[in-house]
Amino acid sequence: MASKKGVRIIITLECTECRSNTNKRSPGVSRYTSTKNRRNTTGRMELKKFCTHCNGHTVHKEIK
Ligand SMILES: [Zn+2]
């Protein structure tokens, strides 16, 4: 039986476009809070999310 505790952890996903594109009009970085399964995802999570600052779907990367 698998334990219910300690597998899913909360992570923060940040828009990679916002971070690289510094001369865009609106300052700020799109952030999402998500959870991940530590057992299945060992590396950094990457998800395509809608960024309000970039006005489109961009890759959001897990940050610490
Ligand atoms: Zn963005």
What φ, ψ does residue 5 adopt, rounded to 5°? Answer: -100, 145
Contacts of residue 54, Cβ cutoff 8 Å, sequence gap at least 6: 15, 17, 18, 21, 24, 30
pLDDT in tens, 24-48: 566 788 999 999 998 998 899 999 9
CA of 29 to the centre of ligand 1 (A): 6
Per-chain mean pLDDT for the chain: 86
| Residues 41, 13, 19: CA angle, nearest 5 degrees | 130
Domain residues of the chain, as ranges?
9-22+29-63
CA of 36 from ligand 1 middle (Å) equals 21
The confidence score (pLDDT) of residue 36 equals: 93
Q: How far is the CA of 39 from the centre of ligand 1 (A)?
A: 29
CATH of 9-22+29-63, one of 2.20.28.120, 3.40.50.1000, 3.10.20.600, 3.30.470.20: 2.20.28.120
Residue 50 has a pLDDT of 96
pTM of the model: 0.76
